[in-house]
Chain A
Amino acid sequence: MKGTNFLRVVYYFIKRDFKIWTYFKVNFLLEIIEIVVDVATMAIIAFATKDFLKQRLQAYGGDFFNYVILGLVCNSILSVALTSPSTAIRDAYWNRRIEILLSAPISPPLIITALSIGPIIRASMRILVYLTIALLVGLTIRSMTLLGLVILIAGFISSIGLGLISSSMFYLLEAKGGGDPVEWIVNIIARLFSGLYYPLDILPEWCRWLSLLVPHTYVFDAERRILLGVTSNIPTLPLHLYSSSIGLTPILTDLIILTFYAVITPPIGYYLLKRGFKKALRDGRLSWWS
């Protein structure tokens, strides 16, 4: 029996995902239309509110369109990292595929990785389309440094770590009926408290501290500052007030926190995922039909 070539497996899973994605041509087209409409909607709101919000968004250059589009793009990247491992397991389980896949000579975490890469690539393509249309409509990116890329990667890795923790709940806590607590809590905080659609200063004081729990907050903040070429170090997060007293800029503070997340969450996620699979193998609850 030949050894399994992991890269070839990944390629075939991606090929399969794309075939499925483009099976419904109309749906594929509608997705593109949806992106165009979303961007246009934001552009119109931004145009309508231009002068009023300049002051409120001073820390990020003052333009609402730039602010919200960059938030949505970063959120898409982090979301797919968060959700694709658990979606991969859930999809394989409910489509009665998990046992067949796990009877192959390839370790469970690698299977989950291979299943997750397709959705990540698909999401990346959506993000590219999003960015392209946004650039055509009026998104202004002033600079893109290596630091910006590092922060994005750190945020992505942190989210993957959280995604692995989230996916481990599928077997560890038998969270098969729907979402799991990790994804749920992260999504709540990201949607409401991370500065995705609006700056945190419109929220009550106590809410702003909640924003520090998810990597999204730091990614949104840092990427907006870097990509919009903002040089004023106006503190926007509660932590910035403390870090500035020790000479750290907001971007550096965000980077340090994200690095911490990126180092801690993936090993924890991997360990919990392995434990989850081991539990399922022991209890005979790996597949729907066992």
Chain B
Amino acid sequence: MMREVVVVKDVYKSYPKYKRFHPGTVLGQAHWFFATLYRSKKEGIVEALKGVSFTVRNGEIFAIIGPNGAGKTTLIKCIGAVLLPDRGYIEVDGIDVVREPLKAKKKINIIGAGYWAGFDWSLTLEENLELYAVLYGYSPKEARKRIREILDILKLRDKAKENPTKLSSGEKQRLSLARGFIADVPVYLIDEPTIGLDPVGAREVRDYIKRELKRRGITIIFTTHFMHEAEQLADRIAILKEGKIIALGNPEELKTKFDVGKLVEFKAYNIYEDIIKRIKALEITYLDVFYRNYGAEAIIKILTKKPEETLDNVIDILLNSKSTILSVDIRDPSLEDIYRAIIGGKVE
């Protein structure tokens, strides 16, 4: 059995909302003088993580997926020791992250989505990366060699002597990744690895993670909005919603975990709002509508535990509304469909 390299147990994190005076008062605006005195009066709290627990095995690629505000970035930052949880236990390679953050940081590196913004624009890419390499203990010679390797992999070698401001957005995101991958650590925490990248660039990054890092036995925890990316890359996926993990397992397990029924898919013309309302009134798990051709054509995806009955009912509705049905399909739902249903709140 592979050893557990990351252990997260009952982690809670909330952000306090402090009382603020109305901006119209001098006292309110002078609060940076008196903030400590008035801090204790809380207006409320925002609970970002509510008892999150999971483990990640050595060499595993672990995805955390969830909607905006689910707590993904908070969780990554807690594991990466740049945010203190309120309570709970986090361990990386046997080191308690909360009690010994400096030791833990030798084992982890966080790669944030917009970290390219912290680069000095009066230095070249290479010069910027050299500084970060040195922070992680490389000698100058080792740093230069490592930087060349990483820039080659991320196809930034020809930009090595360029100023970071001259890069395209995709190149800037790759620069964030370059900064992160420079550190030779056993665990990478990556916040949205392919954001801002074109499809080719995104595929190359995924390939690098899947092939190269996996081959070297590096453990990766990454967050993403895209289930297809998680499904493609990850050995296991955790679905985070409102600070809680509501599902955890490999893609096959997740598919069977939730009994959402079958996916019934319609392609049709002339689908109006009232048709959608009538379909929603049926006994179904989840409904999604995608419009194409300026709204003329619609793809209706319905998750239902009674596929034949639903099929009959929807055909009746569409024919009575004088819509034109182009195609009908019944199949097993993809993980993406299940995920959307889970996040949309129709599935327990």
Interface residues of A (CB under 8 A from B): 1-5, 8-9, 12-13, 16, 19-20, 23, 95-97, 99-107, 169, 172-177, 180-181, 278, 281-284, 286-287, 289-290
Contact across chains for A1 and B114 when beta carbons are under 8 A apart: no
B135 touches A106 (CB 8 A): yes
Q: Given A97-B118, A173-B35, A175-B32, are A1 and B82 neighbors across the interface (CB < 8 Å)?
A: no
Q: How far is the CA of A175 from the CA of B36 in the complex (A)?
A: 12
* Residue in A closest to B184 when the chains form the complex, CB atoms: A1
Residues of A within 8 A of B102 (CB): 105-107
Instruction: Flag if B16 contacts A283 (CB, 8 Å).
Output: yes
Name the interface residues of B63-86: CB closer than 8 Å to any CB of A.
73-74, 77, 80-84
Contact B179 A1 (CB under 8 A): no
Chain B residues numbered 211-236 whose CB sits less than 8 Å from any CB in chain A: none
Task: Tell me the minimal C-beta distance from B315 to chain A in angstroms.
Answer: 50
Q: Which of B32-58 contact A (CB under 8 A)?
A: 32-33, 35-36
Are B134 and A100 in contact, CB atoms less than 8 angstroms apart? no
Q: Assess whether B137 is in contact with A173, with CB atoms less than 8 Å apart.
A: no
Give 18 pairs: A residue, B residue, CB < 8 Å, sorted on A. Answer: A1-B183, A8-B134, A8-B140, A16-B123, A19-B122, A19-B123, A99-B110, A99-B112, A100-B118, A103-B81, A105-B136, A173-B35, A174-B31, A174-B35, A175-B32, A289-B112, A290-B73, A290-B77
Q: Cβ of B131 and Cβ of A2 under 8 Å apart?
A: no
**Interface contact B106-A1, CB-CB below 8 Å:** yes
The distance in angstroms between the C-alpha atoms of A200 and B109, with both chains bound, is 55
Which chain B residues (12-28) contact chain A, with CB distance < 8 Å? 13, 15-16
Check B174 for interface membership: any CB of A closer than 8 A.
no
Q: Which residues of B come within 8 Å of A, CB atoms?
A: 13, 15-16, 31-33, 35-36, 73-74, 77, 80-84, 102-103, 105-107, 109-110, 112, 114-115, 117-118, 120, 122-123, 127, 130-132, 134-140, 179, 183-186
Nearest Cβ in chain B — how far from A26, in angstroms? 14
Chain B min CB distance to A223 (Å): 33
Q: A1-B107, A23-B122 are in contact. Are A281 and B84 (CB under 8 A)?
A: yes
- Tell whether, in the assembled complex, residue A102 and residue B32 are in contact, meaning their CB atoms are under 8 Å apart: no
The distance in angstroms between the C-alpha atoms of A175 and B8, with both chains bound, is 34
Q: How far is the CA of A97 from the CA of B132 in the complex (A)?
A: 11
CA distance A32 to B338 in the complex (A): 67
Q: From A19, which residue of chain B is reached at the shortest CB distance? A: B123
Q: Is B136 a contact of A4 with CB atoms below 8 Å? A: yes
Assess A177 versus B131: contact at CB under 8 Å? Given A1-B136, A2-B138, A5-B137: no
> Which of A5, A13, A281 counts the most B-chain CB atoms under 10 A from its CB?
A281
Contact A19 B127 (CB under 8 A): yes
Closest residue of chain B to A179 (Cβ to Cβ) is B32
Task: Specify which chain B residues have a CB less than 8 angstroms from the CB of A283 in the assembled complex.
Answer: 15-16
* B136: chain A residues within 8 A (beta carbon): 1-2, 4, 104-105
Q: How far is the CA of A12 from the CA of B143 in the complex (A)?
A: 12
Partner of B74, one of A16, A101, A284: A284
A95 vs B32: C-alpha distance when bound (angstroms): 21
Across-interface contacts of A176 in B (CB, < 8 A): 32
- Indicate whether A286 sits within 8 Å of B118 (C-beta atoms), given known contacts A3-B137, A99-B112, A100-B132: no
- Contact (Cβ within 8 A) B83 A284: yes
B187: min CB distance to chain A, Å: 10
Q: How far is the CA of A19 from the CA of B119 in the complex (A)?
A: 14
- Cβ contact within 8 Å between A16 and B118: no
Per the bound structure, the CA–CA distance linking A174 and B84 in Å amounts to 18
Q: Are B15 and A104 in contact (CB under 8 A)?
A: no
Q: Is the CB of A286 within 8 A of B109?
A: no
In the complex, are the beta carbons of B122 and A9 less than 8 A apart? Answer: no
> Is A104 in contact with B123, judged by CB distance below 8 angstroms?
no
**Chain A minimum-CB-distance residue to B77:** A290
Beta-carbon contact of A284 and B36 below 8 Å: no
| CB proximity of B152 to chain A, nearest CB, Å | 22
Q: Which residues of A contact B179 (CB under 8 A)?
A: 100
Bound form: Cα–Cα A169–B36 in Å: 11
Asked if residues B106 and A12 are in contact (CB atoms below 8 Å), the reply is: no
Q: Can you name 8 extra interface pairs (CB under 8 A) apart from A12-B131, A173-B33, A284-B15?
A: A95-B120, A97-B118, A103-B109, A105-B105, A106-B102, A173-B32, A173-B36, A278-B84
Cβ contacts under 8 Å, B122 to chain A? 19-20, 23
Is there contact, CB below 8 Å, between B137 and A4?
yes
Question: Which residues of B are found within 8 Å of A282, using beta-carbon distances?
Answer: 84
Which residues does chain B contribute within 8 Å of A169, judged by CB atoms? 32
Contact check, A96 vs B114: say whether CB atoms are below 8 A apart: yes
Residues of B within 8 A of A101 (CB): 135
Report yes or no: B138 in contact with A103, Cβ–Cβ below 8 A. Answer: no
A63 smallest CB distance to B (angstroms) = 42
- Closest B residue to A106 by CB, please name it: B135
| Residue in B84, B179, B183, B186 whose Cβ sees the most chain A Cβ within 10 Å | B84
User: Are the C-beta atoms of B138 and A290 separated by less than 8 Å?
Assistant: no
Q: In the assembly, what is the distance between CA of A281 and CA of B74, in Å?
A: 11
A94 to chain B, nearest CB (A): 10
The answer to whether A95 touches B118, judged by C-beta atoms less than 8 angstroms apart, is yes
Please give, as numbers and ranges, the residues of chain B lying within 8 Å of A104 by CB-CB distance: 105, 132, 135-136, 183
Which residues of A lie under 8 Å from residue B16 when comparing CB positions?
A: 283
Per the bound structure, the CA–CA distance linking A283 and B112 in Å amounts to 19
B130:A12 contact, CB within 8 angstroms: yes
Contact, CB under 8 Å: A100 / B112: yes
Which of A12, A99, A181 is in CB contact (< 8 Å) with B134? A12
How far in angstroms is the closest Cβ of chain B from A106? 6
